[in-house]
Chain A
Amino acid sequence: AQSVTQPDIHITVSEGASLELRCNYSYGATPYLFWYVQSPGQGLQLLLKYFSGDTLVQGIKGFEAEFKRSQSSFNLRKPSVHWSDAAEYFCAVAPGGNYQLIWGAGTKLIIKP
């Protein structure tokens, strides 16, 4: 069965420090890959997505993610976090376009001043 693992429930980083959030998936082929962010009480905002092509994907708010087929990973990175980045981050996969998204459990990002 398809699954998505986000091994870190919480991550705390200092403002200005770099960030990497991990995501691993289990699926037979290369799925469509997504990162969403959810601020408290808010909806799910798409940060970036990977369907095919260049394995380094640029998203909004200065985020990027790299697809590594050999590791079944799609880790999210940001070189320098801002206090406004404090939120919960979800990795999701879909077997193709317009199919259901399968979600990781989320990683809560805490920013230290």
Chain B
Amino acid sequence: EPEVTQTPSHQVTQMGQEVILRCVPISNHLYFYWYRQILGQKVEFLVSFYNNEISEKSEIFDDQFSVERPDGSNFTLKIRSTKLEDSAMYFCASSMTGGGYTFGSGTRLTVV
């Protein structure tokens, strides 16, 4: 069964550093998403991406965050100048037209 692949599975970074979280969505999917889950809290939507541009974003997704699809397969989330409160599990997802989201296994980001 096709999978969404996320790398790395765990990233530790110093506060103030930039991190890039990587995702390889399912190849024929057209919509891409990032969600995060702070430990013990709800899963929260960050951003959706379609046709090489952001289609929706939440209040969380401020200027600190950016997304990119640098080639035909990768979908990245960049967090500039990380803060302690950015520590969370970040999930990438993709979907075909009409819904049916498939999630990756997540990247656990720890900011120290």
A residues with CB within 8 A of B: 32, 34, 36, 42-46, 49, 51, 90, 92, 94, 96-106
Contact = CB atoms under 8 A, between A and B. Distances in A.
Given A44-B103, A49-B100, A101-B101, A106 B42 contact: yes
Nearest to A49: B100
B12 interface: no
Interface of B: 31, 33, 35, 41-45, 48, 50, 55-56, 58, 91, 95, 97-106
Secondary structure of the B contact surface, majority rule: strand
Contacts of A106: 42
A34 B93 CA distance: 14
Contact of B101 (A42, A46, A90, A96): A46
Contacts of A92: 43
Nearest to A104: B42
B105 A98 contact: no
Nearest to A36: B103
A49 B98 CA distance: 12
5 closest A-B pairs by beta carbon, nearest first, are A97-B99, A43-B105, A97-B98, A100-B45, A44-B103
Given A100-B33, A101-B33, 18 more contacts: A43-B91, A43-B103, A43-B104, A43-B105, A44-B43, A44-B103, A46-B100, A51-B99, A90-B43, A96-B99, A98-B55, A98-B97, A100-B45, A101-B35, A101-B43, A105-B41, A105-B42, A106-B42
